[in-house]
Structure 1
Amino acid sequence: MSEPLISVIIPNWNGAAHLPTCLEALRRQTYARREVIVVDNGSTDDSLQVLARYPEVRILALRSNQGFAGAVNAGIRAALGELIALLNNDTEASPAWLETLTAAFERHPDAGLLASKILLFDRRNVFHSAGDYYRVDGIPGNRGVWEIDEGQYDHEEEVFSACGAAAAYRRELFQDIGFFDEDFFYSCEDMDLAWRAQIAGWNCWYVPTAVVYHKLSATGGGPTASFYDGRNFIYLIAKDYPTGLLRRFWPQVFRAQWRIAREALRAWRGTAARARLRGMLAGLLTWPRVARKRPQVFARRRRSDEALFARLTPGVF
């Protein structure tokens, strides 16, 4: 049986300074059956000139910034691979990254998505993500973030979600549950997809040998990330949190949102704190837009509330 083709999709917006490191690392990959697609979100820097130095890369140049979700969806539609890998432009993948991901899909036919071991670019013994979790109180997060790598996450295991900075997906998953939700635009679109995958009965596996180094927030972060985190945490609850579980845990969900708002109010002078509050307000005002998608999400249900609850992480009560 021939090896599957894996399509690596890199969303890019004004990332000219980061692209050479990312693309040179992909040239060093030990897995040969790959294609690389860079989706440019209307960059105004020298990104397209940099990309011209990499003839093996397919370039999709969008006219305007469609956000992470919009760029990735354009790449998925253009991709030829049976497997889809997402990679941020400010990363450096270890040489065996694609080979280990492809082998993990073969070992785990139940897996719709895979999480990489993501370490900081400048402190390569510190975690960004060992897979992502979703707490019962409605807060998502990166497992192991800021922890020193001492082997505590060297075991291949199921996790709730894969951080979209370096993740892999079966094409069948998108055929089953749809693409990334472009209403999320920039943040939590990977967690929304994971919720839909979990509800539909797919599993997510963390692969500790699939190592990627990430310049965390090099092309994002700050007030922009704070705004979209504030809004999209609410969007996740409105769209994906099962009704039966929400009836049980709404006090914890409410308290978690109130804690975030209170902390932002205390730090009101900071631009990121004000952006977080604006995002939360936007989420409260526009949540019906994403809540209308709940019937479509749960029409694919293959897991009970209790089975989903078992996959969540306890909240901070």
Structure 2
Amino acid sequence: MKSPLVSIIISNLNGHRLNLLEDCLNSLTKPNYSNWELLVIDNNSDDDSVSYLTTRFNKLPNCRVVRNKINMYSQGLNLGANNARGKYLCYFNNDVAIHKDYFENIIKRLKYDKNIAILQGKLLNYYKRNIIDTAGETMDIYGNPVTIGAGEKDRGQFDKEEEILSASGSACVIKKDVFVKIGGYDPEYGIGYEDMDLALRARSMGYKVIRYPNAIVYHKRASTDLAPFVRLKVKQHFNKNRIATMIKNYPLTLLLRSLPVTILLYKFIGTWEWIVNRNWNIGLTRFTSIGWVIINLGQITSKRKRVKNITKKNFQFPINLFSQKSLNSIFKDFIDFNKRG
């Protein structure tokens, strides 16, 4: 029986300038799997990424470039899904490589479990392959993101399949039929929390999100996100999307308990950036994010109602998969981080 078609979808922004595309494509165009297509979604690069890709794909009929006219990451992800023909959407950033058996392993796991919507493998540091990059994503109730296992030595501690709150957007797999039911990525997000928002909506419909350690990926973390030409824009999106994700997906009691604290944290950290770090632009993103949420509150609450409408009866919000960090720990980590800086 023929293996199901997988759609490899790579997000790209100036990947040729950043010397990322060649390593990524050398890996992803040579999988130990026969039935695949590859789409590179170019998010309005201003380097020569498109011409490089067009030339490279001349002799690869199952590879193509899809151009996103605006630099909006989440919209590019949806554009990839809209152009994909496969049963499985295999998303990657442009700074990854895979183990040759990646697709074979994920298909073996996914095709026999209809309850799994989203899967991520075990991501290792590209340069130090005994170091964990991410074993899954979570956050505390105030929306502070936590990358599971980041920086830890790989001692097999994440070699057990487990449910996780969210999969890493750097490399994850989503069943296309479920992706359509969920409604895809929120196009207003740009970048940041789009994967968390999608996972929470999938869970509300009764689906599972898992880490499957037999699927190995190697990741050059933050190669694009921290590039000078996008860093400030990324900060802005992350800050507004964090609050939007909470409003859209949290139960009301949890939202009323956590959102005021998150707003206070934003004000404190923004002021700290101004007074202590003297970083006016980064600090300002905290306050402009609050303003963006206020201006768009009607739209966000409408999306909250849509989430409620698709939520499965007797759904239990997955608070057990959240990080249990206390506020004291959050402040201590912030102060320690700034002292090191």
Same fold (TM over 0.5): yes
Q: Offset of 1:315 from its aligned partner?
A: 4.2
Contact 1:114-1:169 at 8 Å conserved across structures: yes
Q: Which runs of 5+ in 2 are unaligned?
A: 328-341
Q: Give the alignment of 1:118-137 within 5 angstroms.
A: 118-137=123-142
* Shift in CA distance, 272/152, structure 1 to aligned 2, threshold 3 Å: farther
Contact 1:238-1:287 at 8 Å conserved across structures: no
* Shift in CA distance, 128/304, structure 1 to aligned 2, threshold 3 Å: farther
Whether 1:94 aligns to 2:103 is no
* Shift in CA distance, 28/240, structure 1 to aligned 2, threshold 3 Å: same
* Shift in CA distance, 259/149, structure 1 to aligned 2, threshold 3 Å: farther
Name the stretch that deviates more: 127-136 or 234-243.
127-136
- Secondary structure in 1 matching 2:106: helix
Contact 1:159-1:206 at 8 Å conserved across structures: yes
Q: Offset of 1:62 from its aligned partner?
A: 2.7
Contact 1:92-1:214 at 8 Å conserved across structures: yes
Q: Offset of 1:31 from its aligned partner?
A: 1.3
Contact 2:6-2:90 at 8 Å conserved across structures: yes
**Separation of aligned partners in 2, 1:155 and 1:241:** 28
Q: Which residue does 1:60 correspond to in 2? A: 66
Describe the superposition over 1:83-126 as per-residue Cα deviations: whole angstroms up to 9, x where unpaired. Answer: 11100011112212222221221343310010122222233333
Q: Give the alignment of 1:114-153 within 5 angstroms.
A: 114-153=119-158
Contact 2:99-2:217 at 8 Å conserved across structures: yes
Name the stretch that deviates more: 261-270 or 27-36.
261-270
**Separation of aligned partners in 2, 1:10 and 1:285:** 32
Name the stretch that deviates more: 72-81 or 237-246.
237-246
Q: Give the alignment of 1:1-317 within 5 angstroms.
A: 1-16=1-16, 17-51=19-53, 52-55=55-58, 56=60, 57-65=63-71, 67-221=72-226, 222-247=231-256, 250=257, 252-268=258-274, 269-270=278-279, 271-302=281-312, 304=314, 306-317=316-327
Q: What CA RMSD, in Å, does the superposition of the two structures yield over aligned residues?
A: 2.0
Describe the superposition over 1:128-169 as per-residue Cα deviations: whole angstroms up to 9, x where unpaired. Answer: 321111323333332122222222111111111111110000
Name the stretch that deviates more: 193-202 or 145-154.
145-154
How many residues of Structure 1 are paired with residues of Structure 2 in the alignment? 313
Q: Which runs of 5+ in 1 are unaligned?
A: none
* Shift in CA distance, 18/309, structure 1 to aligned 2, threshold 3 Å: same
Give the residue type in structure 1 aligned to 2:267: A
**Separation of aligned partners in 2, 1:301 and 1:292:** 14
**Separation of aligned partners in 2, 1:176 and 1:108:** 17
* Shift in CA distance, 278/119, structure 1 to aligned 2, threshold 3 Å: farther
Name the stretch that deviates more: 106-115 or 303-312.
303-312
Contact 2:247-2:301 at 8 Å conserved across structures: yes
* Shift in CA distance, 140/75, structure 1 to aligned 2, threshold 3 Å: same
- Secondary structure in 1 matching 2:296: helix
Instruction: Provide runs of 4+ in structure 1 moved above 6 Å.
Output: none
When Rg is computed on C-alpha atoms for both structures, the one with the higher figure is 2
Q: Offset of 1:300 from its aligned partner?
A: 0.9
TM-score by length of 2: 0.85
**Separation of aligned partners in 1, 2:283 and 2:156:** 34
Contact 1:245-1:309 at 8 Å conserved across structures: no
